[in-house]
Amino acid sequence: MAKARPARTIDSYTIKGTNKVIRVGDCVLLRPSDSSKLPYVAKVENIELDSRGHVRVNVRWYYRPEESIGGRRQFHGAKEVFLSDHCDVQSGDAIEGKCTVHSFKSYTKLDAVGNEDFFCRFEYNSITGAFNPDRVVVYCKCEMPYNPDDLMVQCEGCSDWFHPHCIDISPEEAKRIEHFFCQSCSSEDHQKLSSSHNASRHPETKVDTKRRRR
């Protein structure tokens, strides 16, 4: 009896019913068995063609926050995913589209976020639930990591960023701020609020070496 030919590695795969080409290193959306769920996000590690002509894709899964052991937290963005250590083999037919997983920094600089845009700032251990890095920058009086979906205003004194509700102002007021000094930096020479627009969703990078990820 003849032995089946071993699977061979191929350079690319065209998603069924489309003209979109998948290559190693691309990020893809995979169709869930439950149609009510969101597509799974994965990174293509290898593409193989088996002896029957079927395409198999080796993937490394991205986890959404709600799929992680700790669940979704307040600071997780709507389009945030974690690059996990969980690898798998999927049929090429399960791929329904391509997507882009940006770095956290590049995501915050996007002019517009599309349906296929995601961002990743953590690697995730699917067994222990541990994150790498296990420390992140925190902002505001609430000492929470930055959620790029949230509006924040920056203090001109200390350069920290604050959520409007944490400094007792409305989002509408925050959008009209020209100069803002937090309570610690306020003085008789600085008015806390003045009119015009200086709200931002892009805080600058700073390093926190004391607080663990909340």
CB burial class (10 A; 0-12, 13-18, 19+) of residue 57? buried
pLDDT score at 189: 47
Helix (H) or strand (E) holding 171: helix 171-174
What region, left, alpha or beta, does residue 71 occupy, with left being phi > 0 and alpha being psi -120 to 50 degrees?
left
- Domains defined for the chain, CATH in brackets: 8-132 (2.30.30.490), 137-203 (3.30.40.10)
Give bridge partners of residue 14 from the DSSP assignment: 21
Asked whether the predicted pLDDT for residue 52 surpasses 90, the reply is no
Q: What is the pTM of this model?
A: 0.78
Long-range contacts of 51-54 (CB under 8 A, 24+ apart): 51/4, 51/5, 51/6, 51/7, 54/91, 54/92
The predicted-structure confidence for 2-18, as pLDDT tens digits, reads as follows: 565 677 889 999 998 89
Q: How confident is the model at residue 193 (pLDDT cuts 50, 70, 90)?
A: very low
User: How confident is the model over 98-112, as pLDDT tens digits?
Assistant: 999 999 999 999 999
The answer to whether 38 and 116 have CB atoms below 8 angstroms apart is no
